[in-house]
Amino acid sequence: MFATLPEPQPDAIIALMAAFAADPRDGKVDLGVGVYKDDHGNTPVMRAVRVAEQRLHDKQTTKTYTKLAGDPAFVAAMQKLALGETPDRLAGAAAPGGTGALRVLFELIARAAPGARFHISDPSWPNHAAMLKAMDKAPGAYPYFDAETRGVRFEEMLAYVNGLGTDDVVILHGCCHNPTGANLTLDQWQQLTDSAVEKGWLPLIDLAYQGLGDGLEEDVQGVRHMAARLPRLMIAQSCSKNFGLYRDRAGCATVQCADADEQAKVQATLASVNRLLYSFSPDHGAALVEIILNDPELRADWEAELTEMRGRINGLREGLAEALRQETNSDRFDFIRQHRGMFSRLGATKEQVEQVREEAGIYMVTDSRMNIAGLTQDKLRDFARAAAAAGV
């Protein structure tokens, strides 16, 4: 039965985690997998999460099943977090992480419009294409990252989406683009919205880093603009990074529908898709998020800690750009200051990435994506020196 089992495609980021763990050197630096780290290199359990866990422990009387679409209070709180004021024509379901939310929304589209074509940014988070290919829905790729300016090739992106129509789904990163760190301006979101209104393509917004760019509200200005103007859109939210709940697998799939009839149908389908994929979504992380978002004191503390995390990342961006200025005698890395979120793509070749890994023990993904949060102030100079020595 298994003799002809094909080798699965390895995930380069997960493989890098293993290579880092196996490296015996003291002082090695992990800029690979996208998890937040503090000044000591730890990925902490957030303070509000600890308190919410204690409360859940004290008040939870049963672990019987929730609903197929998860706890409605969690879904409503997540939708409010993304959209602010929410219209009543939203369908939604809890899902196992942002990945689960994406998978459920892909499945929904596969049922609603089997011939629909997906489009992702060039480049994008590798799992987007991998998951879609596994569903026999290899996506198209719209121009996105400009390797010269390290900004967005917006005119080309806009021309691409203007060529799409009502059978097309466009996956957009809501903020903090993974893997490049280059993001759309509000004006660009507005132009994309005009295109979606005119051409009828459907946005699917992957929102995995809300609060880690410029702020909880600031990071979703584009998403909210789109939601206010379009009859329909989809959002896949992850609680992995902004709540630090990675392994608990908390996420939310939302569909803004055109009217109440459509909402009822989509809601029933989301529940059914959940059931067919895994029955009930995990609820532990979702319950913590619901407690935090609906308790003013806990929420304030969560926001304060998220602000500290964001401040640390953006402080490292400043420091890294400055260290690279000094080590390379040029301002060509100043884009690191403008980028937002966990990642920037440095612009090094595969060989240079390997050289930095071998000589300095600093691990970046092969495409030279670096997790800024993996740095510490005392490593900035080492990093800049290693990058300069490799000729980046």
User: Nearest distance from residue 342's CB to ligand PLP, in Å?
Assistant: 8
The one segment of 94-102, 268-276, 292-300, 332-340 that binds ligand PLP by CB under 6 A: 94-102
Helix (H, G, I), strand (E, B) or coil at 62: coil
User: Nearest distance from residue 77's CB to ligand PLP, in Å?
Assistant: 16
Amino acid found at 76: A
206 binds, among ligand PLP, ligand TYF, none (CB under 5 to 8 A by kind): ligand PLP
- The reply to whether 206 belongs to the active site is yes
Task: Give whichever of 97 and 361 is closer to ligand PLP, judged by the CB atom.
Answer: 97
> At what angle are helices 186-199 and 154-162 packed, to 10 degrees?
10
The correct pick among 77, 91, 119, 178 for binding ligand PLP (CB under 6 A) is 178
- The reply to whether 63 belongs to the active site is no
Separation of alpha carbons 249 and 94, rounded Å: 10
The residue count for binding ligand TYF (CB under 6 A) is 8
* Sequential DSSP letters for 67-97: -TT--HHHHHHHHHHHHSS--TTEEEEEESH
**Closest by Cα among 249, 359, 309, 381 to 42:** 309
Q: At which residue do the structure tokens 């059978």 appear?
A: 167
- The reply to whether 360 belongs to the active site is no
Residue ranges with strand state E in 128-167: 140-143
Site string for ligand PLP, 7-46 (x = CB under 6 A): ---------------------------x------------
User: Nearest distance from residue 16's CB to ligand TYF, in Å?
Assistant: 9
Active-site residue, selected from the candidate residues 77, 168, 241, 379: 241
Sign of the torsion formed by the C-alpha atoms of 197, 201, 202 and 206: negative
Q: What residues contact residue 4 under an 8 Å CB cut-off, 6+ apart?
A: none
Active-site residue, selected from the candidate residues 37, 125, 323, 379: 125
- Our finding on whether 203 is near ligand PLP (CB under 6 A) is no
Tokens matching residue 45: 């359990």
Decide if 56 contacts 288 (C-beta within 8 A).
yes
Q: Which spans of this chain sit near ligand PLP (rule: CB under 6 A)?
A: 34, 97-99, 125, 173, 178, 206, 208, 238, 240, 246, 251
Binding site for ligand TYF (CB under 6 A): 11, 13-14, 33-34, 125, 127, 178
Active site residues: 125, 206, 208, 241
